[in-house]
């Protein structure tokens, strides 16, 4: 029997989450929050859309809509996780969040990473984290990378800071996207058998962590607040879509050929971007790394 952690089709290990797009009510308020509080940089803006990132790489798009907050369980975004290069950077971020009274919800040690959790003004979850050296990860022979939620050594993280906060460093990225889904088994089947990620940690019928290559997770999926829930409506604020950055055109072509062979519905857009919808009604796409 084939190992459940190794699907037949696998994405190139250099493919990873690219950016996240949110539908928002108050565009200016959200721009100020993500730049002045979280640490992103405003790259472009018009009346209906803002592009934010680190360096010149877009990591977050904000689309203004005349919508309303979700008042019931829906599928969509659990949190966007921004990966900082070093523990020093996480320490600088933590000092900044404390001194600016940022909406910190918690902090955790996940064995392979240390993470801070926040919520933006319109209810979208945010994780800001750094990865520990891989020598400290638990990596099993079958590729599984177990996680836990332990107390973070806050004092040690603060001591790692150099207190030179200037926002996120240029090489920060979206490390993973954690989704609220309707069914984790359907999600696992789609992301492994269709999209070509590998299952990295299995929380049973509550959550799954999936990734390309040897990473701990690029996609998290849980049903903690969304079991059997419906997708967001167009006029509801929250996740609009997310993307994977693909290393080269050949990999985009390989993904397209694979989906065509499976007869999976997808749309081919400008620059050969491949758009799909997962079993929970969540929209994603593959695009070339900027």
Q: Is 134 a member of any domain?
A: yes
d(CA 246, CA 6): 20
Q: Is 10 a member of any domain?
A: no
Residues in a beta bridge with 112: none
Q: Is 231 a member of any domain?
A: yes
Q: Is 6 a member of any domain?
A: no
Q: Which residues contact 37 (CB under 8 A, 6 or more apart)?
A: 97, 100, 102
DSSP-derived 3-state class of residue 14: coil
Min mean pLDDT across 66-75, 202-211, 278-287 is at 66-75
List, for residues 68-120, the tens digit of each pLDDT value: 888 778 999 999 999 999 999 999 999 999 999 999 999 999 999 999 999 99
Instruction: Detail the DSSP E strand segments found in 166-271.
Output: 173-180, 198-202, 207-211, 219-222, 230-231, 238-246, 267-268
Q: For all residues of the chain together, what is the average pLDDT?
A: 95
Report the percentage of the chain scoring pLDDT > 70: 97
Q: Is 3 a member of any domain?
A: no
- The total of structural domains in the chain comes to 1
Q: What is the CATH number of the domain that holds 99?
A: 3.10.180.10
The residue segments making up the domain with residue 66 are 16-288
């Amino acid at each position: 029997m084939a190992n459940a952690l190794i699907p037949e089709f696998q994405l190139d290990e250099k493919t990873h989450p690219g950016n996240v797009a949110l539908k928002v009510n108050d565009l200016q308020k959200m721009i100020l929050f993500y730049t002045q509080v979280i640490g992103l940089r405003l790259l472009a803006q018009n009346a209906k859309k803002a592009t934010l990132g680190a360096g010149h790489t877009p990591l977050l798009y904000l689309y203004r809509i005349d919508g309303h907050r979700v008042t019931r369980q829906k599928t969509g975004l659990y949190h966007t996780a921004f990966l900082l290069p070093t523990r020093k950077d996480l320490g600088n971020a933590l000092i900044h969040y404390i001194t600016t009274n940022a909406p910190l919800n918690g902090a955790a040690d996940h064995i392979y990473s240390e993470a801070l959790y926040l919520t933006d003004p319109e209810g979208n979850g945010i994780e800001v984290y750094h990865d520990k050296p891989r020598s400290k990860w638990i990596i099993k022979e079958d590729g599984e990378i177990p996680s836990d939620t332990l107390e973070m050594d806050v004092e040690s993280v603060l001591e790692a800071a150099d207190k030179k906060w200037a926002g996120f460093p240029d090489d920060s990225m979206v490390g993973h996207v954690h989704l609220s889904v309707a069914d984790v088994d359907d999600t696992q089947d789609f992301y492994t058998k269709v999209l070509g990620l590998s299952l990295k940690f299995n929380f049973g019928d509550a959550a799954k962590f999936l990734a390309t290559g040897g990473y701990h997770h690029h996609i998290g999926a849980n049903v903690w607040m969304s079991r059997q829930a419906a997708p967001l409506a167009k006029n509801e604020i929250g996740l609009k879509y997310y993307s994977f950055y693909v290393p080269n055109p050949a990999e985009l072509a390989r993904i397209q050929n694979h989906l065509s062979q499976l007869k999976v519905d997808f749309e081919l857009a400008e620059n050969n971007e491949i758009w799909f919808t997962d079993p929970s009604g969540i929209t994603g796409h593959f695009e070339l790394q900027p």
